[in-house]
Amino acid sequence: MVSVDRAQVMAYRIAALGLAERVEMRPADLPVLDLGVQEYTPGSARVALAARTSGPLTDDRLITVWAARGAPHLHRRADLAALVKQLWPISDADATSRIQSGQIPDGMKLGLEAFRATADAFREVVHESMPRGDVSTEVSKRVPRALTYECRSCQARHIAGNVWQHSGLPGGVEVQSRGKDATLGPIPSAPPRPEENEGIGDLILTYLRFLGPATPLEVGKYLGSSTAEMKSAWPVKRLAEVTVDGKRKWLPAGAADDLAGASRPEGVRFVPAMDALLQSRDRDVLVPDRDQQKEVWRRLGNPGAILIDGEIAGVWRAKLAGRKRVDLTVTAFGKLPAGRRRQIEAESAEVARAREVPEATVAFE
């Protein structure tokens, strides 16, 4: 059995996620698109792509949909038929876990029926590009009342956000834009709503290929499900058992050699908030220091992370200065020598490229 420490796991994940070496590929050809790239804030998905490829960042083979945990992710259009079945809950208990909410205590008990009813409502409503608020109003009218709650600010009943977003992909809906003028639209040639889950084992393997070694606990948290549900679907015959700092975890069969042979990368990367690297739920592996963890993962408004030689060495935030530049503020977890600062300043050009402005400035705190 392969036994490694957390530093070796970091080296493995950074290589698997395409952060060890920037390549020249179109975005849809990047391996990380097997997992999906989350759009946490406007432009953050482009920053994630720029950290991995020097090629153009637009690709019409990609589409933004509500995917894992109902969060907006870039995925390949060609993958949607399989993805929608992989993300469909495996049981009523799984469905209830994914849509737990104090807003709809009775609605979450509907389990799979909550997903079916909401997905069907989306398909009845969304036939063209529509403002998100209009879609919400019409979908809310069509779902069981238990899935809606009374909104005091606008004095209307709205469908709860968790079931709404979890049901978007099976409802055939793409996220066309976000923010004040957010719009939704029908996925061209959308795959049908699933009748049951198909491929949960493949989805678990994908998570482990990029964010392993891991356990059912971490995969459950990633999907918004429970450990018990993931244990029931754990594809043990397709996995290899390893230990990380003495703890038993799993990888896809055949990946143990990649884990053992991974070498620590060199260089700097700006990774955005909720980049795939930051999505793993074993945060002690990513950032051992608990105070530093609080800087990376906040209750509201996560910053991006600075990678230096394969370790998370600080956080960063960005502010656009019109269409001229992006101003970056870097807060390091330790002292940065002059050479490191120059590396960070050079790498900031990739953030400017992603944000479609001519230049970036860097301020160190």
| Run means of pLDDT, 10 residues per run, the chain, 365 residues | 96 98 98 98 96 98 98 98 98 97 94 98 98 96 96 86 97 92 96 98 98 98 97 98 97 96 96 97 96 95 97 97 95 97 98 98 97
Q: What's the pLDDT score for residue 159?
A: 96
For residue 206, the model assigns a pLDDT of 98
Q: What is the pLDDT of residue 59?
A: 98
Domain annotation covers residue 286: no
CA proximity to 175, closest of 80, 107, 97: 80
Domain closes at, from 131, 155, 175: 175
**Is-contact 311 317, C-beta < 8 A?**
no
Tell me, yes or no, whether 239 lies in a domain: no
pLDDT at 279: 96
The DSSP secondary-structure symbol of 74 reads E
Query: Would you state the pLDDT for residue 180?
Result: 80
Is 301 domain-assigned? Answer: yes
Characterize the bridge pairing of strands 183-186 and 130-131: antiparallel
Q: What is the pLDDT of residue 356?
A: 97
Nearest CA among 245, 272, 254, 253 for reference residue 74: 272
Phi (first) and psi of residue 353, to 5 degrees:
-60, -45
Tell me what pLDDT residue 155 has. Answer: 79
Does the residue 316 lie in any domain?
A: yes
In a domain, 165, yes or no: yes
The whole-number pLDDT of residue 249 equals: 98
pLDDT of residue 154: 78
Residue 318 lies in a domain: yes
- Domain C-terminal end among 150, 175, 200: 175
Q: Is 254 part of a structural domain of the chain?
A: no
d(CA 233, CA 97): 15
Q: What is the DSSP letter of 58?
A: -
pLDDT at site 153? 79
pLDDT in the model for residue 360: 98
Q: By residue range, what is the domain housing residue 321?
A: 294-364
- The pair of three-digit structure tokens given for residue 188, joined into one six-digit string: 């061209």
Asked whether residue 59 is domain-assigned, the answer is: no
Domain count, the chain: 2
Last residue of a domain, one of 175, 199, 214: 175
